[in-house]
Amino acid sequence: MREQILELERKALEELKDLTNKADTDAFKIKYLSKQGLITNLSRGMRDVPSEERPVVGELINKVKREIESRLALLETKYEEEALNEKLRSEKVDITEPSKGTAQGEIHPLHKIFTKLMDACVEMGFTVVTGPEVELDYYNFEALNVPKDHPARDMQDTFFLGGDLLMRTQTSSVQIRAMENMKPPLKIVSPGRTYRVDSDATHSPVFHQFEGLVIDENISMVDLKSMLTQLLKMLFGDDTKIRFRPSYFPFTEPSVEVDATCPMCKGAGCTRCKGTGLIELLGAGMVNPKVLENCGIDSNKYSGFAFGPGVDRLAMVAYKVPSIKNMFENDMKFLSQQNGEIR
């Protein structure tokens, strides 16, 4: 038995010398030290050893086992260190390398225009109110003097949702809600998303409007003209020329469309303004007395004006944006070109 143990030790130490990697070391450990390993088998053979020799043989087996274990442990530590060093080498960070930089966000042009409009209107004493985007036909059309058979409905290609519900086509719906809930004198603006079945370079199915409404005694077209002129000059600069052009909306009488000097050609005429030197910005007018009466406001005592710019159009003009789609694509290249102030 002693010879067998010493022979096994000699063989094991010989094999240990040839181990060069972790996989072989693991295989060696299984071969000698696992439950079915050669050393464990030796211990099982103790049964056949005469009882008086057992302590000595047992001690010899343990000594051989400890020797193999300690040499194996040294090898394992060596391979662990080598693996760690390799990992550190491959994951090394060169702190002297120049940084790739981080993409910097920009405030969206639409948000900038909205902020300018809001700031200007709040400064002029307007209160901000909002309304629902999924709207009742009544608020979007009927109460605004556009009954079901009115041809003006065709001008606003509507997303109907079934029943009396639709996606609002204009923020003018908020005028009605405000007049129903607030008593004159009234001075409100209402920013928000609007929806139409419409899509080309200047039309989007989702766009933004900014409704303004003033109701008081003795409000006239002069108030509308002077307020809008002031607002648009605040946005586009004092040298901007404003033109009021007769138009038609069922909810205003008289109605106007308001144009401003084309910022691309400064009024000289270009492809953007189709040679006119002017760009259409918004619809406006004196609130139709029928609309006031629909909301329970005495039209003999009160009068008012309303206006509704397309905010995406204002931003397109202010930032010289070629297509309304640019506003919705969130392309970082486009956004980073829009970081100048309007004025």
Can you give the binding site for ligand FA5, defined by CB under 6 A?
156, 170, 172, 196, 198, 203-204, 207, 209, 249, 252, 280, 282-285, 306-308, 310, 312-313, 324
Cα 258 to Cα 249: distance, rounded to the nearest angstrom:
13
Nearer to ligand FA5, 72 or 306 (CB): 306
SS3 282: strand
Minimal distance, residue 166 CB to ligand FA5, in Å:
14
Task: Specify burial of residue 178 (Cβ count, 10 A radius: 0-12, 13-18, 19+).
Answer: buried
Strands 186-195 and 165-167: unpaired
Minimal distance, residue 312 CB to ligand FA5, in Å:
5
275-281 contacts: CB < 8 A, separation 24 or more? 278/241, 278/243, 279/313, 279/317, 280/313, 281/232, 281/309, 281/310, 281/313, 281/314, 281/317
Minimal distance, residue 87 CB to ligand FA5, in Å:
57
Nearer to ligand FA5, 8 or 232 (CB): 232
Residue 251 near residue 155, CB atoms below 8 Å: no
Cα 178 to Cα 174: distance, rounded to the nearest angstrom:
6
Nearer to ligand FA5, 75 or 260 (CB): 260
What is the H or E stretch that residue 254 is in?
strand 252-261
**54-90 and 22-33 helices cross at what angle (nearest 10)?**
160
Minimal distance, residue 284 CB to ligand FA5, in Å:
5
Nearer to ligand FA5, 116 or 313 (CB): 313
Conformational region of residue 324, where left means phi above 0, alpha means psi within -120 to 50, and beta covers everything else: alpha
Q: Residues 5-28, buried b or exposed e (16+ Cβ, 10 A)?
A: beebbeebeeebeebeeeeebeeb
Cα 187 to Cα 306: distance, rounded to the nearest angstrom:
10
Nearer to ligand FA5, 61 or 284 (CB): 284
Nearer to ligand FA5, 173 or 338 (CB): 173
Nearer to ligand FA5, 101 or 151 (CB): 151
Cα 72 to Cα 29: distance, rounded to the nearest angstrom:
8
Nearer to ligand FA5, 22 or 203 (CB): 203
* Pair of tokens at residue 208: 């933004």
Listed in sequence order, the residues at least 6 apart from 4 whose beta carbon sits closer than 8 Å to its beta carbon are: 42, 45
Minimal distance, residue 175 CB to ligand FA5, in Å:
7
Q: Which residue is nearest to ligand FA5 (CB)?
A: 310
Nearer to ligand FA5, 28 or 207 (CB): 207
Minimal distance, residue 209 CB to ligand FA5, in Å:
6
Minimal distance, residue 99 CB to ligand FA5, in Å:
41
In DSSP terms, 67 is beta-bridged to none
Minimal distance, residue 88 CB to ligand FA5, in Å:
58
Cα 247 to Cα 259: distance, rounded to the nearest angstrom:
12
Minimal distance, residue 207 CB to ligand FA5, in Å:
3
